[in-house]
Chains A and B, each alone.
Chain A
Amino acid sequence: MSATPWQPTADDFAKAESRGDAQRIVRPSISYWQDAWQRLQRNPRALVSLGIVVALALFTIFGPWVWRVNPAAQDVDQISAGPGARGSGRIVEPYTAWAGVTVETLPTSGSAVATGIRLAEPPTTHAVRLVWDPAANATGYHVYRNISDPKASRALGLPLGDILDPHRVSFEDRFDLEAVPYWYSIVALDAAGAEADGYAVFEAEPKLVVSADEAVARGWVADSSEARVGDAVELPYHPLGTDYLGRDLLSRLMHGARISLFIGVVAPLLFVFFGICYGSAAGFAGGRVDQVLMRAADFVVALPFLLFMILFRIAFGIGPGESGVFPMLVALVLLGWPSTARLVRGQVLQIRNEAYIGASRLLGAKTPYLVFRHMVPNTIGVILVTLTFEVPRVIFIEAFLSFIGMGVAPPTPSWGSMSNEGIKTMLAHPHELLFPALFISVAVLAFNLLGDGLRDALDVRLRGRE
């Protein structure tokens, strides 16, 4: 295959037509922030996190206005109620005493355990009234109550009654009754007063009842004339259930968010601001001042952080009625600033020697202009990223300290102190730990991923790293 060589003609050497717009940039120039925002929008993980952060902020700020339940109010009828549970009660006559049941003749042969256990009347939270047939040769009975079936393992539970009269074959339980199933065990006593091996088990589930006066006292009805005997009343609704003192979990989570996120956002703002001032002062001053300032920062870094947080808390000795938020803020600011100070100092030192700063200075720019036109825009991105990463760290610290009882003092709710309370009832009522733990985890996760996204979007040098 032979290629024909190119044969130029005279036209090819004609003077080219000059087009004025060849050098023009067609695409509109976008600012640093527009660029960053566009990058962030292309990152779905960061966008979702941003959405979660905004949702948490709305939950914290507007939640207590929408869900107006007092976080300290106790709903004693629904203690440790599960999520979504909504009980109802019935209004009955006020409690009246019960004489009980006695038998004249005692059997000398037959069953050695009490048989025929029955209820004298339907069980209510006012009283559970048990009656049984006497056991052979019994000198008395012990009555136990458990919240699970004792089965064969003799896990009888709470000792309730000690009946020393063999003629008495009834027992009235009025002890701390809730609307949950109970297993009553009745153990006969022998001639020596010792418990027999066998025992009879009876299951009863009391219904929630209140008298008219109680209903008024608990705020279920306006006044006792409205409360007629036999009426059903709905109990307060708790979407996420209640804690071990019967306090509404949703409301506590909202008020707890105010504490946890307040510390989580305000403390980093304060110490990052202090770090910026400190670091830029060191960076600008340079020389000996810089060395002394940075040595001091190194020293603070060397201190074990959490130990000192605990020490501060002890030193402030929080008195009654104080929440302990302020001492924690002070301690966080005192211990948290060095990392930002180091970062800003490094940035200042680096940017100070950049060629564009020198060029600007050569053109006669004054220091304030340099700072606000070049230094601040070039460091603000890095600082914003640091700030975003400090927020989850501080939320963690608050949760950790509150969990070991060294943070926010009860009854002030915070996610950490709620977890601390929840873990005690974890095996029976996992939701009391689950919800605060979930909120801590989601908040920390969202801020971390948002920080990752912001770093990718704002920091040109770190772009593409993982």
Chain B
Amino acid sequence: MLVYILKRLVQGAVTVWFIATATFVAMHAVPGDPLRGERLANAQIRANLEARYGLDKPVLEQYGVYVGNMLRGDFGLSYTQQNRRVNDIIREHFPVSATLGILAMAFATAGGVLWGALTALYRNRLPDAVIMFFVIVGISVPSFVVAAVSQYALVNLNTAFGTSLLPVAGWGTVWHMLVPALVLGLSTMAYLTRLMRSSMLDITQSDFVRTARAKGLPPTRIFLKHQLRNAILPVVTVLGPQIALITTGGFVVELVFAIPGLGRYFVEAVHQLDYTVIMGTTTFYGAFLVFMVIVVDVLYSFIDPRVTLE
């Protein structure tokens, strides 16, 4: 078990190193210049700035410094925001994204398990049809459309009632988080509902459920203890990739709802070609996602005793 975790961590570290290198190569392949602006016509200012960002060194040495700094957890200085460290940016904005992501993930898993179980219970009846209709909508409508439409609806609702029922955009209180988190979790919720439904239907026909029924257990007990607990297992396996989806989906939701999260910051940095911020946040996101997949895989062995990690 410990060996397995170590092996996965080493593999993950290699992946993160590759991501860091790929970002470095990509950023140095960009045509153009990280230092722009009329101020830089002055050769002395330019030389000073190049020295400050280490751009005067050969590329290989820059790469060495970059990897060395990254190993110490230092992502360097921002190009567009003077005197701001990338670490500070991440420290300041990531908690916002993480809060939103965790809330969305909670919405998605709770909703997915609940709706999936309900549709399986009411198979081929009205609740099933209604929920599956929304599932199909959730899967085929892009998140930015859902975000835009819900914001539009919020604006109109607030106008209709004459008071601010829920804030339309921004960040700060729990009320600000509700709608963005729901929107962010919606497609994952739809996907998990579908998965939960088919997994529940499989379980319902299994031998141990028939046995439980034959020995006279009450239906609620069969449902909660035998069916639900076993049907959740396939849902847990896909959580890792779904975390990645929610993380990147946050870019869009943060843009639409004007949430000061790392995702919005990343998109802005990409538009402004803020090299160090792009390299830092990409590597950070990459490391985070790789790590989350490992965590979910390890957790799975605790939830399902049949799975042994090798």
Contact = CB atoms under 8 A, between A and B. Distances in A.
Interface of A: 299, 302-308, 310-312, 314-315, 317, 319, 392, 396, 399-400, 403-406, 419-420, 423, 426-427, 430, 433, 437, 440-442, 444-445, 448-449, 465-466
Nearest to A404: B267
A442 B26 CA distance: 35
Contacts of A441: 137, 140-142, 145
Nearest to B28: A315
A264 to B, nearest CB: 13
| Residue from A305, A315, A317 having most chain B Cβ neighbours under 10 A | A315
Given A392-B140, A405-B267, A437-B141, 12 more contacts: A303-B18, A303-B19, A304-B244, A307-B285, A315-B26, A315-B30, A419-B145, A423-B256, A437-B148, A441-B137, A444-B142, A445-B136
Contacts of B293: 302
Nearest to B11: A302
Nearest to B198: A466
B18 A299 contact: yes
A364 to B, nearest CB: 42
Given A307-B248, A314-B30, A302 B290 contact: yes
Interface string B267-310: 10011010000100010011001100100000000000000000
Interface in B156-189: none
12 contacts: A304-B285, A304-B286, A311-B22, A311-B23, A317-B31, A399-B144, A400-B142, A400-B248, A405-B267, A420-B144, A427-B152, A440-B145
Interface string B116-152: 0000000000000000000011011111110010011
B43 to A, nearest CB: 25
Interface in B217-252: 244, 248, 251-252
Contacts, number: 116
B59 interface: no
B35 interface: no
A423 B22 contact: no
Given A302-B15, A304-B289, A310-B270, A426 B198 contact: no
Contacts of A310: 270, 282
B2 interface: no
Nearest to A302: B15
Contacts of B5: none
Contact of A317 (B30, B139, B140, B244): B30
B102 interface: no
A449 B133 CA distance: 12
Top 5 closest pairs, chain A to chain B, by CB: A445-B140, A315-B26, A437-B145, A306-B248, A444-B140
A427 B197 CA distance: 37
A443 B299 CA distance: 37
A139 B92 CA distance: 52
B25 interface: yes
Nearest to A301: B241
B15 A399 contact: no
A311 B289 contact: no
A444 B145 CA distance: 13
B141 A311 contact: no
B27 interface: yes
A313 to B, nearest CB: 8
Contact of B270 (A314, A400, A449): A314
A247 to B, nearest CB: 20
| Band of interface residues on B | 35 or more
B298 to A, nearest CB: 16
Given A304-B244, A304-B285, A307-B248, A437 B142 contact: yes
A113 B204 CA distance: 78
A430 B152 contact: yes
A449 B201 CA distance: 20
Given A303-B18, A303-B19, A445-B136, A404 B282 contact: no
Contact of B148 (A303, A404, A426, A445): A426
B197 A466 contact: yes
A419 B145 CA distance: 8
Contact of B26 (A312, A319, A437): A312
B32 interface: yes
Contacts of A400: 142-144, 248, 252
A205 B95 CA distance: 50
Contacts of B136: 445, 448-449
A423 B201 CA distance: 40
B255 interface: yes
Given A299-B15, A307-B248, A403 B140 contact: no
A319 B252 CA distance: 25
Contacts of B137: 441
A423 B144 contact: yes
Contact of A466 (B25, B201, B278): B201
B29 interface: yes
Contacts of A317: 29-32
B194 to A, nearest CB: 8
Contact of A314 (B18, B141, B143, B278): B278
Contacts of B19: 303-304, 307-308
Contacts of A430: 152
A326 to B, nearest CB: 16
B142 A308 contact: no
Contacts of A399: 142, 144
| Residue from B25, B31, B144, B271 having most chain A Cβ neighbours under 10 A | B144
A404 B251 contact: yes
B282 A311 contact: yes
Contacts of B144: 399-400, 403, 419-420, 423
A310 B248 CA distance: 11
A405 B272 CA distance: 12
Contact of B27 (A305, A314, A420, A449): A314
A400 B144 CA distance: 8
Contacts of A303: 15, 18-19, 286
Interface in B1-56: 11-12, 15, 18-19, 22-23, 25-27, 29-32
A71 to B, nearest CB: 21
Contacts of A311: 22-23, 26, 282
B53 to A, nearest CB: 18
Nearest to B288: A304
B289 to A, nearest CB: 5
